[in-house]
Amino acid sequence: MLVIVCPHCGPRNSNEFTFLGERSTRPAVAATTPAAWRHYLYFKNNAAGEAGERWFHVSGCRRFLDVERDTLTNEIRSVRDVGEAAG
């Protein structure tokens, strides 16, 4: 049971969150091709180490979060709300 430090709720057990996988960018629908679109759908980096992920605090504040996690150690480097993810 990982501890994820939610920026709004503080440290919480990971079973309060839904894992949505590595973040990916949605191609512009008007211009996309089947290959490009399906890479967006199916192909991830599957990084061994630093991964940029999206989690959802479904049983807490219901905010979507950008999580930087080391997939080898499960160490979590940072958790930010998608709203201020750039910050």
Partner 1 sequence: MSMGGESVAEYSSPVAAATADLGSCLLHDESHLAKWRVWEDDHGVELGRASHYAGSIVCAVSPGEWIVIGDRPDAADVVDLTHVRAAIRLTGAGARSLLEHVCALDLGDSMTPNGAAARTLVAGVATEIIRDDAAGEPSYLLLMSRSFARSVWERLEAAAPATSQ
Partner 2 sequence: MASYPTRYSALALLRKGVTRSDWPRAWRHHDLRSSYDVVIVGGGLHGLATAYYLARNHHITNVAVLDKAYIGGGGSGRNTAIVRSNYLTPEGSAFYDRSVRLYEGLTEDLNFNIMFEQRGHMTLAHNDASLRTMRWRAEVNKLGGIDSEVIDPAGVKELAPAIDVSDRPRYPILGALWHPPGGIVRHDAVVWGYARGADVAGAHIHQGTEVTGIDVASGRVTGVQTSRGAVAAPVVINCTAGWSTLIADMAGVKLPITTRPLQAAVTEPVQPFLDPVIVSGTLHVYVSQTARGELVFGASVDPFSSYSSRGSLGFTEGLAGHVLELMPGLSKMRLLRQWAGLCDMTPDFGPIIGPTPVAGFYVDVGWGTYGFKAGPVAGEQVAAMVANGTVPRLIASFGLERFEQGRLTAEKGAAAVGH
Partner 3 sequence: MSGSRLGVQPGELIDRDRVVRFEWNGTEHHGFAGDTIASALAAGGVEVFSRSFKYRRPRGILTADYHDPNLFVQVGDEPNVRAGHRLLISGMDVTAQGAWPSLGFDARGANRLVGRFLAPGFYYKTFISPARLRPAYQKILRRFGAGGKIDPATPPAHAAKRFAHPDVLVAGGGPAGMAAALAASHRGARVMLVEENHHLGGHLLYGGPESAAALAELRALIGADDAIEVLTNAVVTGRYDHNWVGVVVRHGGEERLVKARAKCLVVAAGKIERPYVFAGNDLPGVMLSSAVRRLINLYAVAPGTRAVVATANESGDAALADLERAGVEVAAVADLRKSGSLLVRAKGRGRLTAVELSGGRTIEADLLVTAVGWTTPTSLLNMAGDRPVYDATAARFLPGEFPDDVLAAGGVVGDGSIESVVDQGRVAGFEAGRRALETGAAWQRLTPRAAPAPEVDTEPTVIPRLPAMPHPELFTGPTDGFVDFSEDVKGRDLALAAAEGYDSIELAKRYTTVTMGSIQGKLAGVNAVAVHAAATGATIATTGTTTWRPPYAPITLGALAGVDEDPVRYSPMHDWHDAHGAVPIGAGQWIRPDHYGDPAREVRNTRANVGIIDVSPLGKIDLRGRDVPRLLEFVYTNRWDSLAIGGVRYGVMCAEDGVILDDGVTARLEESRFYMTTTSSGAGRVWNWLDEWLQTAFPTWDVKTTAVTDGYAAMNIAGPRSRELLQRVASGVDASPESFPYMNARIATVAGVAECIVLRIGFTGELSYEVHVPAGYGLHVWEELLAAGSDLGIAPFGLEAQRIMRLEKGHFIVGQDTDGLTKAHTAGLAGLIKIDKPDFSGKPELVWEGEQGPPRRLVAIQPVDGSVVPAEASQIIAGGLTRGRVTSSRTSPTLERSICLAIVDTEYAAAGAELTIRLPDGRDVAATVLEHHAHVDVDGGRVRG
Q: How far is the CB of 47 from partner 3 (least distance, A)?
A: 18
Residue 56 near partner 3 by CB under 8 A = yes
Q: How far is the CB of 23 from partner 3 (least distance, A)?
A: 9
In the block, which residue shows the tokens 């894992």? 19
DSSP 8-state code for residue 27:
P
- Tokens (6 digits) for 3: 């501890």
**φ, ψ (nearest 5 deg) of residue 35:** -60, -50
Give 51 or 65: the residue with its C-beta nearer to partner 1.
65
Tell me the torsion sign for CA atoms 62, 85, 87, 1: positive
Residue numbers at the binding site for partner 3 (CB under 8 A): 1-3, 5, 8-11, 13, 18, 20, 26, 29-30, 32, 34, 37, 40-41, 54, 56, 58, 62-64, 74, 82-83
